[in-house]
Amino acid sequence: MTRNSRKTTAPGPGATTPPAATGTTAATTVPSDEALARSLPGGFTSEYATVNGLRMHYVTGGHGDPLFLLPGWPQTWWAFHKIMPDLARHHRVVAVDIRGQGGTDMPEGGYDKKTMASDLLGLVHTLGYRQVNLTGHDIGAMVAYSFAANYPEATRKLALLDTPPADASDYDRPLLMRPNRGVALWWWAFNQLHELPEQLLAGRMRHLLDWLFAHSLADQDLVTEQDREIYAHAHNTPEAIRSGTAWYQAFHQDIEDLAKYPPLTMPLLGIAGTYTYDELQRKLPPLGTDVRVQQASGSVHFLPEEEPELISEALLEFFA
């Protein structure tokens, strides 16, 4: 995996302005990844590594055992910005834009989580590590689980935030919810479509993001205007939207792969928000031999931004 890999350090692109149709009254200047990394305490830097032809972006800082952070849809490495400084006091933190996300390349294929896990293994080896701690949120949690399942020798401990790997029970999720029974995961179905999401959302991702946050945050101020513009800018292009939908279109292959994996033997921690706690309690224990699940009772889904102190403390205790 590392034979054709090379590491490069380069500044992110300069400050850019997203398309005007972002759901705001005026276009907002979005800081570069380099500037965002510098803004965090802990000496973080924005870097790139080319792994078997895929140029991956990551932000790294701190000292200690390596701890890799994988974000989900539709966000970037910035989803962890509130907890990275605390984690960096005890770990070498590496927050990664996964395949098709943020500053990482957006190829046509390879969005099954097994292939994306191999991307991560290449990055781990390129950075000189043999074994790492791993935390994933949302789609990033699915990639993190696949990494642990396929490369247990490279995984010290694994933490999944609010999202288990996709399994066959997901085919039975209701698309139409009864009144006052929660929100259907309509985007799981929407992201199965080809071309239409790009046509509808290019330059308009801010509308989708605001809807998701409106239904997935206990307090809307926890994700700021700048945060929303950062995420919208990263996902506004047709290529980025196509890549995001490809993560979901690969669920069929992911479900097939999951059925072949034996239980994990490394320690596995699941932290769930209010909506998914019961689901994680049901789904995670059969996936490992050393599993614990805890609840972030003040969170809905975006745990590192909703309860950063709780998440930092839980991860530091788990990975100690």
Task: Indicate which CATH number applies to the domain containing 194.
Answer: 3.40.50.1820
When pLDDT is cut at 50, 70 and 90, the band that residue 180 belongs to is: confident
The three-class DSSP label of residue 46 is strand
Q: How many domains are contained in the chain?
A: 1
pLDDT at residue 240 greater than cutoff 90: yes
The residue segments making up the domain with residue 72 are: 6-319
Q: Any idea what DSSP says for residue 68? A: E
Q: Tokens 């590192």 — which residue? A: 304
Residue among 129, 142, 122, 159 nearest 253 (CA): 142
Query: Could you read off the pLDDT of 7-23 as tens digits, one per residue?
Result: 333 333 333 333 333 34
174 vs 3, higher pLDDT: 174
1 domain residue, yes or no = no
What's at 289, amino acid-wise? T
Q: Please tell me the distance from the alpha carbon of residue 215 to that of residue 213, in angstroms, as a whole number.
A: 5
What are the tens digits of pLDDT across the range 247-271?
Answer: 999 999 999 999 999 999 999 999 9
d(C-alpha 142, C-alpha 274), whole Å: 19
Has residue 229 been placed in a domain?
yes
User: In which residue are the tokens 């292009």 written?
Assistant: 237
Q: pLDDT tens-digit profile of 60-90?
A: 999 999 999 999 999 999 999 999 999 999 9
Residues 234, 86: Cα–Cα separation, whole Å: 25
Instruction: Find out whether 76 and 231 touch, Cβ atoms under 8 Å.
Output: yes
Q: Are the C-beta atoms of 116 and 143 separated by less than 8 Å?
A: yes
The answer to whether position 198 is within a domain reads yes
**4 band by pLDDT with thresholds 50, 70 and 90:** very low
Q: How many CB atoms within 10 Å of residue 104?
A: 24
Whether residue 228 lies inside any domain: the answer is yes
289-317 average pLDDT score: 97
Average pLDDT over residues 126-150: 98
In percent, the amount of the chain with pLDDT more than 90 equals 88
Domain-located, residue 36 = yes
